[in-house]
Amino acid sequence: MGAMATQRWTEADIVAQTGRTFVVTGANSGLGLHSTKALTGAGARVIMACRNTEKAEAAREELPADSRKLAEVHELDLGDLRSVDSFVSGIEDRGVDVLINNAGVMDIPLGRTAQGFEEQFGVNVLGHFALTSQLEHKITDRVVWLGSLMHQLGWINLDDLNYERRSYNSWLAYGQSKLACVMLAYEQQRRFVREGSTLRAVVAHPGYSATNLQSHSSNAVVRQIMKLGNSLPLLAQPPHRGALPELYAATVPDLPGGWYIGPDGPGEVQGFPRPVASNKRSYDVGVAEKLWDACAELVERR
């Protein structure tokens, strides 16, 4: 199925993935677990890159028998760049075809990663940036970054990416982190083109998907509202549908680099995957270049 033929694309449209290897971060639950199930169901080998290996092994055991044989758990804590180093060193040289930067945290109280980064920016952005940079020479096909509808709230504050001087707002911090993921995907694609690389960087967002991500909100009222939202089928779609945009972005053979994939329904809240547009700020090439350099400096400074 071609990249433009997006009408009601489902898991059944995933072309055979036999012989291909995927790394899926946060693969023990939610969108990552459903992506793992779909990819192994199509014949792919999936490296489940997870912070809690006990939970990941339990999730792997729940997969169908044939899928279970194709999935393997590796420890990866995106909140600790030393863990990223260890994970990459444990990936054998036979390579990775696709990296799906699926894991994330959302609307959490102010916290710091092992290297002192604001936790949402540190996990959602810098952990994945370091992982992508270190794995790039082993990747043969593409990198999929995860955006969010909440990138609309985001502004990139290059002078204070880690909330060291400004007052902390959990939603604005999340919005910044997701806008950063979108912009880094676009910037990575531009760099691939300049380098003459055949690799691709694409980005996807799930719309509103009922996962456990919402249960970690720092605000009790927000947690209750989201719990209610997750139970409303007219608002929230189940995880297997929420995973479709990242699966589309990861597997459609002729998908151009630099595309953004999201649900086709009103407001991109739910639906079937198709190319969509991110906000105007995400296309600022100058800010994206500076963001890339800032991320590289932060990761190297550790």
User: pLDDT truncated to tens, each residue of the chain (302 aa)?
Assistant: 445 544 799 999 999 999 999 999 999 999 999 999 999 999 999 999 999 999 999 999 999 999 999 999 999 999 999 999 999 999 977 789 999 999 999 999 999 999 999 999 999 999 999 999 999 999 999 999 999 999 999 999 999 999 999 999 999 999 999 999 999 999 999 999 999 999 999 999 999 986 555 444 555 544 444 444 444 444 678 888 999 999 999 999 999 999 999 999 999 999 999 999 999 999 999 999 999 999 999 999 87
The alpha carbon dihedral of 143, 175, 84, 103 has a sign of negative
Residue 270 lies in a domain: yes
Predicted pLDDT at 227? 42
Rounded to 10 deg, the angle between the 244-251 and 30-41 helix axes is: 50
Choose among 289, 255, 266, 262: nearest CA to 278.
Answer: 262
Residue 6 lies in a domain: no
**Domain range enclosing 187:** 11-301
Q: How far apart are CA 118 and CA 166, in angstroms?
A: 12
110 φ, ψ to 5°? -60, 125
Q: How far apart are CA 88 and CA 138, in angstroms?
A: 10
Which CATH number characterizes residue 190's domain? Answer: 3.40.50.720
Predicted pLDDT at 239? 84
C-alpha distances (whole Å) from 135 to each of 93, 261, 291, 294 are 10, 23, 20, 19
Residue 2 lies in a domain: no
Residues classed as catalytic: 174
- Cut 0.85: pTM above it: yes
The alpha carbon dihedral of 206, 207, 211, 217 has a sign of positive
DSSP line for 26-53: TTTSHHHHHHHHHHHHTT-EEEEEES-H
Residue 66 lies in a domain: yes
Residue 185 lies in a domain: yes
Count of domains observed in the chain: 1
Residue 3 lies in a domain: no
Residue 1 lies in a domain: no
Predicted pLDDT at 301? 84
Name residues whose C-beta falls within 8 Å of residue 167's C-beta, 6 or more positions apart in sequence.
none
Q: How far is CA 77 from the centre of its chain?
A: 14
Q: How many C-beta atoms surround the C-beta of residue 144 within 10 A?
A: 28
Segment (H or E) for 65: helix 65-70
Residue 45 lies in a domain: yes
Choose among 218, 188, 208: nearest CA to 200.
Answer: 188
